[in-house]
Amino acid sequence: MKYSVRILDIATRSGILLNYLDARNIGVLDGDRVQLINPKNSLAVTAVVTTTSTLEGQGTAGVYRGTNRRLNLTEGEEIEIREADRPASLDFIKKKMDGGRLTKEETLTIIKDVVNDEISAAELTAFITASYINPLDMEEVEHLTRAMVETGERIKFASRPIVDKHSIGGVPGNKISLLVVPIIAASGLKIPKTSSRAITGAGGTADLMEVLANVEFSAREVQEMTEKVGGTIVWGGATNIAPADDRIILQEYPFKIDARGQMLASVMAKKYAVGANLVVIDIPVGSHTKVPTVQEGRKLAREFIELGERLGMKVECALTYGDIPVGYSIGPNLEVREALRVLEGATEPNSFIQKSVSLAGIALEMSGKAARGTGAQMAQDILSSGKALEKFRQIIEIQGGDPKVKSEDILPGEHQFVVNAPASGYIVEMNNVSLITLARLAGAPHDRGAGILLHAKKGTLIKAGEPLFTIYAEREWRLQKAVEEGRHLVPVLVEGMLLDRVPSQSEV
């Protein structure tokens, strides 16, 4: 039967909205599937049905934007709708629920249906939950990685090596890509870096780079820019590289899970799809990160290396200290300012510089540019010489930003609140999770100027009344919220501090 189309623009939703009488007539219930056919060009997709008794009259059909991507319908055009079979993906997901192992073909079928929005968010969540409880083995992870690559755009460079770098995350202020990418590119290697925006963090690398330049480019543009200047720092979400991954992450988000198999596949699919064959993985280890112990970090490292071997990629991992923030800044503008200062010649903060040159050094050694044991020094030399700054400016320029930008141009939010040490003593703990929460309360990452600037780090002796950190915000109410709700977060702990005061019964 034919229906008149209305386009429904709702993010992260897909499928078709039908009047319940039309649905009954077609023979489907809410959650069933129909085949949608564009009679103009014979494009056909399967879509999950939702029903309404008022929003669509009989004879009209609301097609969600995500579903229309592959149909190319415009408002008012005609569409043909038929009952569709239940997708085989659901049986494969059920197999995983029942503890089975998925074949290459089964995995590809699921991931194709994910990318084409032919299975619902709830059905995808069942797959994620099943794979979290019944973990994927390394062969299944390889299948998943390849399926993620095959269902998205790919970049093929004419020559190798192609370097890439990834940080597992969980550490605030981890702005090292802003140094690593220009250092690598300045050495003559190619590094087409795609990054994420923060979902639970205070600023992903893409959020940071967006302070300086555009970050939304197609895979083809990433390739061209990398050919020209040696590197990019773009948002992966815009490239359509491994698009299944974004959908998986969105469904993992409510439960704060990061199923091992999906995580390995997610990272490596993006590296594989951009053509990288030399990959450095930064695994921050610490009690408030995703990897609490060195033992677990080593295990994860071995898994990355094995998956790399299966895919024909050379992988090295660096276990890094992740118990406290990298550098002194958290939040887009503050972090970008800190990175620019180092590129401009600042020799502090040491933690940030050392981590960046160490990771860049590993890639330089893997590529043969530097001999074993000399990579970090070569990276430091590139940084100190100003070549990394020059390269970073080329990258900013090719991504449409202002290459003349200076660190002093980048300002934090105008509203600020200084938190002073309530007692004298050593700073004995910094809580990554609390620091990120505080930065987010202040508005990061959406408000680029929001964030936290630390004035001292773990191990420092501080006197009562001296500043511990400053909270910055672009909006007054955001600052207030961060200050009020932040009182109980204790992001920085000074040895002599009272953690709580319990009054005697009589005083209550």
* Distance in Å, CB of 106 to its own copies, minimum: 15
* Distance in Å, CB of 164 to its own copies, minimum: 27
* Distance in Å, CB of 478 to its own copies, minimum: 8
Residue closer to its own copies by CB (options 129, 195) is: 129
Report d(CA 395, CA 197) in Å as an integer. Answer: 19
> Residue 60 carries which side chain, given as an amino acid letter?
T
Backbone dihedral region for residue 385 (phi beyond 0: left; psi -120 to 50: alpha; all else: beta): alpha
Report d(CA 231, CA 228) in Å as an integer. Answer: 8
Catalytic residue among 258, 323, 381, 409: 258
**What DSSP element (H or E) covers 224?**
helix 219-229
Report d(CA 165, CA 276) in Å as an integer. Answer: 9
Residues, the chain:
508
Q: According to the annotation, is 122 in a ligand binding site?
A: no
Residue closer to its own copies by CB (options 134, 240) is: 134
Is residue 180 within 8 Å of residue 174, measured between CB atoms? no
> Residue 449 carries which side chain, given as an amino acid letter?
G
* Distance in Å, CB of 290 to its own copies, minimum: 15
- Strands ordered across the beta sheet of 314-321: 163-167, 278-285, 314-321
Is residue 181 within 8 Å of residue 191, measured between CB atoms? yes
Count of CB atoms situated within 10 Å of the CB of 164: 27
* Site residues, its own copies (CB under 8 A): 8-13, 17, 20, 24, 27, 29-31, 50-55, 86, 90, 93-94, 97, 99, 120-126, 128-130, 132-134, 199, 250-251, 253-257, 440, 443, 446, 478
Cβ-proximal residues to 292 (8 Å cutoff; 6+ apart), any chain? 285, 286
Residue closer to its own copies by CB (options 97, 305) is: 97
Report d(CA 79, CA 40) in Å as an integer. Answer: 9
Residue closer to its own copies by CB (options 256, 404) is: 256
DSSP assignment, residue 87? P
Q: According to the annotation, is 119 in a ligand binding site?
A: no
DSSP assignment, residue 465? T
The CB-side HSE value for 123 (13 A sphere, CA atoms) comes to: 25
Bridge partners of 370? none
Q: According to the annotation, is 16 in a ligand binding site?
A: no
Q: How far is CA 314 from the centre of its chain?
A: 22
Residue closer to its own copies by CB (options 134, 354) is: 134
Report d(CA 323, CA 171) in Å as an integer. Answer: 8
Q: According to the annotation, is 423 in a ligand binding site?
A: no
* Distance in Å, CB of 124 to its own copies, minimum: 7
Nearest to 429 by CA among 483, 493, 384: 493
Residue closer to its own copies by CB (options 3, 392) is: 3
* Distance in Å, CB of 113 to its own copies, minimum: 12
Residue 472's φ and ψ, nearest 5 degrees, are -110, 145
Q: According to the annotation, is 170 in a ligand binding site?
A: yes
* Distance in Å, CB of 174 to its own copies, minimum: 21
Residue closer to its own copies by CB (options 90, 497) is: 90
DSSP assignment, residue 254? G
Report d(CA 9, CA 11) in Å as an integer. Answer: 6
Q: Is 402 marked active-site? A: no
DSSP string, 90-130: HHHHHHHHTTPPPPHHHHHHHHHHHHTT-S-HHHHHHHHHH
* Distance in Å, CB of 25 to its own copies, minimum: 9
DSSP assignment, residue 286? S
* Distance in Å, CB of 331 to its own copies, minimum: 14
Q: How far is CA 421 from the centre of its chain?
A: 34
Residue closer to its own copies by CB (options 53, 350) is: 53
Residue closer to its own copies by CB (options 33, 341) is: 33
Burial class (CB in 10 A: 0-12, 13-18, 19+), 122: exposed
Q: According to the annotation, is 199 in a ligand binding site?
A: yes
Q: Known binding site for AMP: residues?
A: 170, 196-201, 205, 266, 290
Q: Known binding site: residues?
A: 170, 196-201, 205, 266, 290
Give me the active site residues, please: 258
